[in-house]
Amino acid sequence: MNGAPVTCRSIAPDGSYLTVTATVRPRDGRAEVKCSVPDAPDVARRMQAVVRLARHTEARFDSRAQVVLSLDRAPGAGARDWELAAVLADRMVRGLYQPPVPVVANGWSEAWHLGRVDGHSLGTVPFGVLAGGEGGLPHLGALSGHPDPAVGVSSARAWFPLVTGGADDSLAWVEVHVRPAQSDGDDEESRIVAPGLDAALQARVRAVLVAARHHDGRGAGQWRTTVRFSGERFQGGSFELALVMADRMARGRDFLPRGRLLATGQSASWHAGRVENVDGAAPKCALLLREAGAGDRILLPRAWEAELTADWSAQLKAQGASVACVDRIGII
């Protein structure tokens, strides 16, 4: 599986060239993507996230391989045009993109998981440079003459309360993107990625989705899944119900509310479809009441039902939102 290194260059803001080098080797239990940038660990983490997100639109994925990517030097502060070069190098070294000539590419995106290339930062695009965005490469499918891959991605978002005990209490969101996957023998967890999260939280996200889909009975082995959160750092498991519901909505397994879906709950038995209690009922309900709007649907653990006051429920109804206390997932 070891292959020759490939390179892809990008034009830096000062007009010089940045070079992305990619190699592939057997994974052997390691991360599927490893990235390094001299004296710039944050850029390396961004590169890893970009490449993992861009893979979401691929029809097949070989989980047996590890791709190692490196940038020869750190780009300028805030520069992102190297992102397209990293994505292309990853595809080139795995044989998914085989250009006839050396590639120089500039482009960035806020939605690599949809295969979209939003633009570039070049004032004038030199001849032969592959530039992202309209007038250049609008999406990754265009590399092979294929339709926009975003058409094949279904997405849903759900919100959950983050309570710190102060003015920073807020709603966070979790977003699930699914794309039909070809059956290639990979285990379910290898098809689920959550770029940007630490290893422990990634493992928890995978375990929750695999277990909840087991209860579903129709989700296993069918999807490539990318999970994104509004923030990368939070504690506790109260996000789990929101994650499960976003996944179910993205896969067409649950109804969509008129507004947002706001949920909190966790479980040690998602495989049985059970929703269990989480701490912080009082502050979380206060936050949900403050943030709820017309058409929003709120899902709470059944254990909280006795703690909901008549005034709280009446005010929520007056705001045009609805609430359900649940102990199981299903058609809610």
Asked whether the predicted pLDDT for residue 24 surpasses 70, the reply is yes
Asked whether the predicted pLDDT for residue 43 surpasses 60, the reply is yes
Cα–Cα distance for residue pair 179/189, rounded to 1 Å: 15
pTM of the entire predicted model: 0.78
Domain count for the chain, please give it: 2
Asked whether the predicted pLDDT for residue 306 surpasses 70, the reply is yes
Co-location of 202 and 272 in the same domain: yes
Asked whether the predicted pLDDT for residue 332 surpasses 60, the reply is no
Co-location of 303 and 162 in the same domain: yes
Asked whether the predicted pLDDT for residue 186 surpasses 70, the reply is no
**82: exposed, middle or buried (Cβ count in 10 Å: 0-12, 13-18, 19+):** buried
- CATH number for the domain harbouring residue 126: 3.30.230
Per-residue pLDDT at 185:
55
Specify the DSSP class assigned to residue 257: P
Co-location of 82 and 206 in the same domain: no
End-to-end CA distance of the chain: 47
- What range does the domain containing 137 cover? 6-150
pLDDT, tens only, 194-252? 888 888 899 999 999 999 998 877 656 788 899 999 876 777 888 999 999 999 999 98
Average pLDDT of the segment spanning 114-134: 93
- CATH number for the domain harbouring residue 261: 3.30.230.10
Average pLDDT of the segment spanning 298-325: 93
Phi and psi dihedrals of 215, rounded to 5? -65, -40
Per-residue pLDDT at 191:
85
SS3 for 131?
A: strand
Asked whether the predicted pLDDT for residue 75 surpasses 90, the reply is yes
Co-location of 301 and 320 in the same domain: yes
Co-location of 22 and 142 in the same domain: yes
186 domain-assigned: yes
301 domain-assigned: yes
Instruction: For the chain, give the mean pLDDT.
Output: 90
Co-location of 127 and 99 in the same domain: yes
Co-location of 310 and 165 in the same domain: yes
1 domain-assigned: no
